[in-house]
Amino acid sequence: MNERIEKWVEALESGEFEQTQGALRAGDSYCCLGVACEVYRRETGRGRWIQVEYTDTREFLAEDSPFEEGSVAVMPGPVARYFNIESNPSLMYGSDDGKLKKSLYAAASLNDKGVPFVEIARAIRERYGTAD
């Protein structure tokens, strides 16, 4: 697993981030992909969160190009390229309780189904390198 993905996984496992569904960030809570955007911002000094008018949702603007590429739902292109992955990577996952059959799921879908960050982190490790 590359070091950048490892930092994302560690952030998901850290307990620092409260989880939300339906957006990269809502207030002070994050989707698993929003955590990746925040890791990108902290590591590169690029990008910023802006409040979406009349909502609690925040859009992430990646400032890697003359055109600020932003998103509220998946990693913007510059962030995905930083991690060298898709903007909403597919992960193999099956829940221990059997509610989700083992299959490929988009990371945002797992997040929005309420799969905890630590389990999403495990699925990222399995796909991109060293699993626990």
Q: Residues 72-113: pLDDT tens digits?
A: 899 999 999 999 999 999 999 987 777 778 899 999 999 999
Comparing 124 with 94, which gets the higher pLDDT?
124
Question: Is the alpha carbon torsion for 68, 73, 53, 47 positive or negative?
Answer: negative
pTM above 0.85, yes or no: yes
Cβ neighbors of 88 (< 8 A, separation 6 or more) are: 33, 73, 74, 75, 106, 107, 108
